[in-house]
Chains A and B, each alone.
Chain A
């Protein structure tokens, strides 16, 4: 047995290096041309840069101290959007913190018909209502998992579901850390709050904001510094839900308690 190793001359080595570099460069260039020509996709990051698009960035703020838990918003939402029974695009939770330290969290029928008075007031340290809805995240986990591009961040900063294109795999429902999505048994697709897209694009307020009797819900365009929601978030200390998840949740809560976050 002679030598197993094959010796490469310097000339051979250099030629191989030149050829392989050229091949990789050609492949990368080809991929780039193919990708651009066949899909014409715009980078998502560009869309989110609203200074470039000049579009609105709709959002909502919630003043927890003002909410009285009447449930009119939940009812208006389900009538405006034909939400099937027992499903909610927005809902109200009641947090009752008792003197013994236990926390009771409830949302009977999404708070649509209000809350009962069966809690003994003597045991209660404090209690409050928290309206919830889709947070219209800037880096939404739900749109990232959609395999077909049926859910997306619209140019106006609203996360929408394309009902004609959704294949009903329900990944997005599991991906949402806020429980804002649900399976719509009538449409047979995923469904969620659209900030009443059909209303806001026609100059109306979302139905929940329209009917809220105490002004606990504030709606507007975050890219306009004079809009109610921009003013509210500037003038008050607000916080998003689950900020550690870095979802870029836009809905700002004033008076958020540690039991809720």
Chain B
């Protein structure tokens, strides 16, 4: 046998062993158990902190609002206007949800813009009582949509 053959075989053997050693260290735990990914990851992701509570959680305490508000009855969630409020559910004193009162906040849905479908209630914000607060006439938590006081 030529002398270089055993030497090459030794180098080859060491590299092969090194490959498997590195492989056991580099491949994360649970990788490949369910497919070509880390099987533990979905469960880790599901643990993330939420920020929206969902309307059901709101209605548990504020049934007076949920039962009478036309917006809510028509499928608008509490957090559509009041913003993410899970913190309020967890400690209602420390975190108070946002209370929208600006014209732009109503106009976000009800301003007349190109593309908004015609059967949706909307107003030309420049023509419709400019400068006045929407709440000065409209009661948002009312049984009739856009009900005036």
Contacts and interface: CB of A to CB of B under 8 A. Distances in A.
Interface in A141-162: 149-156, 160, 162
B38 interface: yes
Contacts of B114: 94, 96, 115, 117, 119, 121, 124, 127
A194 interface: yes
B76 to A, nearest CB: 4
Interface stretch (A2-10, A67-75, A170-178, A229-237): A67-75
B32 A40 contact: yes
Of the four ranges (under 10, 10 to 19, 20 to 34, 35 or more), the interface on chain B belongs to 35 or more
Interface in A115-130: 115-117, 119, 121, 124, 127-129
A240 interface: no
B140 interface: no
B91 to A, nearest CB: 18
Interface residues of A, number: 56
Interface string A79-116: 11000000000000011100000000000000000111
A211 B55 CA distance: 9
Given A41-B35, A155-B42, A68 B116 contact: yes
B109 A68 contact: yes
A231 to B, nearest CB: 16
Interface in B35-92: 35-38, 41-42, 45-52, 54-55, 71, 75-77, 79-80, 83-84
A119 B38 CA distance: 49
B112 A162 contact: no
Interface in A192-220: 194, 197-199, 201-202, 204-205, 207, 210-215
Interface of A: 39-42, 44, 47, 65-66, 68-72, 76, 79-80, 94-96, 114-117, 119, 121, 124, 127-129, 149-156, 160, 162, 164-165, 194, 197-199, 201-202, 204-205, 207, 210-215
Interface of B: 28, 31-38, 41-42, 45-52, 54-55, 71, 75-77, 79-80, 83-84, 108-109, 111-117, 120
Minimum-distance CB pairs A-B, first 8: A198-B48, A152-B37, A127-B115, A201-B46, A149-B36, A213-B76, A119-B114, A211-B80
